[in-house]
Structure 1
Amino acid sequence: MTVIYTIGLVSPHSSRFRSSLLTISKKAPSPPTLLKDKIICMWDRGDGLRCRDVLKGDALSLHLRSVHGCRGAEDTALTCWWDGCAQHMKKGVVVRHIQDVHLGVTYPCRRCGVTFGGKSSFELHLLGCSVPKKGGGPI
């Protein structure tokens, strides 16, 4: 399955629209490289419009803190305003929530081929994956 994220503010009717799309395969690449892809921030600015800043996925936490004021201790109560979500959670899980729920980031195991929707589930799986590492290299 392939997911396409728009990474620019180009109109779908523009000739530049096709070049403004980023395609992300659900089967590859490995988890660390998934977060290097660009995304559009869909956080509600408070006026009913979305932020739409283009950022690298690994900069999401910094962006939420510096632009949208998501600050405080990890257990601070927070509401996810990503694309109208409005789900209440603790600040410490909002980035993982956005990645898992809104962006559909997946983590495939290179040993056995099972794909996980959350990083914590993936890491837990690696501890007990019964398929041995190939060549002793990275997972």
Structure 2
Amino acid sequence: MYSTRVNDKWSAEDDVSLIENAHLERYSTCLWIFPNGMPCNETVRGRDFSGHLRDRHGVVGTPSSQHRCCWNGCQEREFNRDCLIRHLREQHLLWRWPCPTCDQDFTRKNTMFEHRDKNCPRRMA
């Protein structure tokens, strides 16, 4: 049966985990451009995007190996592999991390944590 009682044990960390899981489970269309000029257009789950880039688009090598972002319309420079994946999540897949206290959005989880813990105007003392 459905309960309307408040969960006293729910925390801000639970909020963050819920948001992260939503990013990982959400499906997005890959707009990576193949050498023939056509977009990939494959639907990929967030948690599978790194593997998709590796297997379908050749984004392989060491974490510091250089790759150009071939997302449709992207004019960015080359990135090392790990920064490219972060760039895709932040700029093209639009992963956002809202502060669980004030709802301000951040593109990076660690930036949201820093804001929440040190700078949030609604931070608990």
Scaled to the shorter chain, the TM-score interval is 0.7 to 0.9
Q: Structure 1 residue aligned with 2:89, among 78, 94, 99? A: 99
Higher radius of gyration, 1 or 2? 2
Aligned to 2:108: 118
Letter paired with 1:96: R
Query: Larger % of helix: which?
Result: 2
* Paired residues for 1:76-95 under 5 Å: 76-87=65-76, 88-95=78-85
Alpha-carbon distance in 1 for matches of 2:46, 2:64: 22
Letter paired with 2:115: H
Change in 2 beyond 3 A, CA 1:73/1:32: same
State, as a whole percentage, how many aligned pairs show the same letter: 26
Alpha-carbon distance in 2 for matches of 1:33, 1:94: 21
Aligned to 1:57: 46
TM-score between the two structures when normalised by the length of structure 1: 0.66
Change in 2 beyond 3 A, CA 1:86/1:78: farther
Change in 2 beyond 3 A, CA 1:37/1:79: same
User: Runs in 1 of length 4+ with deviation above 6 angstroms?
Assistant: none
Post-superposition shift, 1:92? 1.1
Post-superposition shift, 1:55? 1.0
TM-score between the two structures when normalised by the length of structure 2: 0.73
Structure 1 portions without partners, runs of 5+ = 1-28, 133-139
Kept after mapping to 2: 8 A contact 1:31/1:108 = no
Q: CA-atom RMSD, angstroms? A: 2.1
Aligned to 1:34: 23
Alpha-carbon distance in 2 for matches of 1:125, 1:61: 27
